[in-house]
Amino acid sequence: PCVFYGDYYGISGQYAQEDFKEILDRLLAIRKDLAYGEQNDYFDHANCIGWVRSGAENQSPIAVLISNDQENSKSMFVDQEWTNQTFVDLLGNHQGQVTIDEEGYG
């Protein structure tokens, strides 16, 4: 992925902003360690998008949900093989868990 220098290290001057190094390091590690396999996109809403990477051999899928609205939800398919498994927010922004249903959706 491409990471803007100013986002990673911060910017000084007239348009100063703090760095996002800590969160970017976590996002980069998640991508490096967990984002494998085919990607299915869910770009059907202007304020809430998502995608699922199906995983590779001996790896679980990863589901990503991004929203710029107060509350949103989206049903995404991860596979029936993951029925009754729970998914959590690896960034710690949402305390809830998502349990995959018998049809493979969460």
pLDDT of residue 72: 85
Residues 88 and 100 in one domain: yes
- Rounded to the nearest 5°, which phi and psi values hold at 67? -140, 140
Q: Which domain holds residue 27?
A: 1-34
The pLDDT tens digits of the residues spanning 2-45 come to: 999 999 999 999 999 999 999 999 999 999 999 999 999 999 99
The pLDDT tens digits of the residues spanning 45-104 come to: 999 999 999 998 888 999 999 999 888 889 999 999 999 999 999 998 889 999 999 999
Residues 47 and 3 in one domain: no
What domain count does the chain have? 2
The β-bridge partners of 49 are: 66
CB atoms within 10 A of CB 73: 9
Residues 18 and 47 in one domain: no
Residues 15 and 43 in one domain: no
The β-bridge partners of 52 are: 40, 63
